[in-house]
Structure 1
Amino acid sequence: MWVQRVIELTGWEPLGISVDWAAIEGELGVPLPADYKELYEAFGGGVFSDSVYFLARDEGVSFDFLTQWRVALSVDQDGKYGDVSAVDPYVIYAPGGEGLVEWGATEWADQYCWLLDAARPGKYPILARSDDGGPWDRYDMSTSEFLYRVLADADFQPFGIAQYDLGMTFEPGSGAPFDGQPV
């Protein structure tokens, strides 16, 4: 329902990207939300309304979900700076553990993540933090509902962007059509 609303809101023609979910979820060690997979297959990675970044599949690396997660995990686990985490008080999710996986962001440095727990697969609370690096806000809703509210609900504060009248568009990250091959 919410995925369809995002599609209708943007006037987007779903791409129907073929994805090897077993490989992606195998690397993560947890299943991903079903509605996120629908968004991923329909849009790929890119930018909504010129300001909301969606991580999925991107032939480059800017909006590629797995590439971004691997980099974040590597940085988070690098002991060079001690136990400091960019997502404090949390850590980046590592297979078999509990932590954050970013699936979206904004040009203003807002972050949208799931709190994944390998011991509790199927639970996907969204944690979002505004650009000021303040506390994380928790949302117990689907990825697609959260994304829809960010784009269309001016009262969804502090994350709603509808009041800025940026248009309801989507621009693929790679700028090139996908070839339909599995990731």
Structure 2
Amino acid sequence: MSRVDELERALPELREQRPGRAREIDWSEMARVLGTDLPSDYKELSEAYPTFSVGGFLLVGTPWPGHEAESAASKLDALDVLEDLVDADMAHGYVPYPRPGGLLHCAESSSGDMFYWRTGDSDPDAWPVVVSTRNDDWWEHENGLVSLLAGLISGDIPPWGLPDPFLGGDTTVWLADGRTS
């Protein structure tokens, strides 16, 4: 079973809106702008779905075909918040990408919770996801972003520092094109 299947099982509202064909993302352009490749579970999710929001709380941004350079640049721009935390000595030792082992933005909540990949390993599939909550809880998940989201939504992963239940029971999905379930 793929990681996206795992997420769709935890969030059937997402599966109901899956586009009929795969989205064609130019991953080499994303890597060129970022200076690194991205994890395969994120690529699989991005090829299945445009940017989506769940419950008006969780936002998962995916590249828009033909606009990969802008999508990559927005991931880098999202690191400004982390840089501010570093400057205030509140980042718990984490630093933004492209510094060695730096964090790279991958998702966020409407409450200011941030999800990052901790880069550093030459294999992006080995990158853990770092969760930084608005309550200053920081923790890592070793099995990728899509697995983390599926576990938080299903309740299989404790939402340390995040709302419990994670989505507050609202699993309404909005895709970037405005459709809702």
TM-score bin, normalised by smaller chain: 0.7 to 0.9
2:59 aligned partner: 53
Aligned residues: 167
Which of 171, 176, 183 pairs up with 2:174?
171
TM-score (norm 2): 0.75
Q: Is 2:28 aligned against 1:22?
A: yes
Give the partner amino acid of 1:13. R
- Distance, in Å, in 1 between the alignment partners of 2:104 and 2:137 is 16
Pair 1:34 & 2:40 matched = yes
- Paired residues of 2:131 and 2:138 also in contact (CA < 8 A): yes
Match of 2:155 in 1: 153
Q: Does 1:130 align with 2:133?
A: yes
User: What is the TM-score of this pair, normalised by structure 1?
Assistant: 0.74
**1:3 alignment counterpart:** 4
The structure-2 alpha-carbon separation of the partners of 1:82 and 1:6, relative to structure 1 and needing over 3 Å to count, comes to closer
97, 103, 107: which is aligned to 1:104?
107
| Amino-acid identity (%) | 19
- How big is the alpha-carbon RMSD for the aligned residues of Structure 1 and Structure 2? 3.2
Q: Which runs of 5+ in 2 are unaligned?
A: none
Find the partner of 1:89 among 89, 93, 97. 93
Structure 1 residue 164: deviation in Å?
Answer: 2.0
Aligned residue for 2:4, secondary structure, equals helix
Aligned to 2:102, the other structure's residue is in SS state strand
Q: Which consecutive aligned stretches of 4+ in structure 1 deviate over 6 angstroms post-superposition?
A: 74-78
Task: Give the conservation status (yes or no) of the 8 Å contact 1:58–1:174.
Answer: no
CA offsets per residue over residues 111-150 of structure 1, 9 Å max, x none?
1110011x53332111102111x14101111211101112
Contact map agreement 2:30 2:71 (CA 8 A) in 1: no
Question: Is this contact kept in 2: 1:65–1:103, CA < 8 A?
Answer: no
1:86–1:20 CA distance, 2 compared to 1 (3 A): farther
Question: Matched residue of 1:47: which SS?
Answer: strand
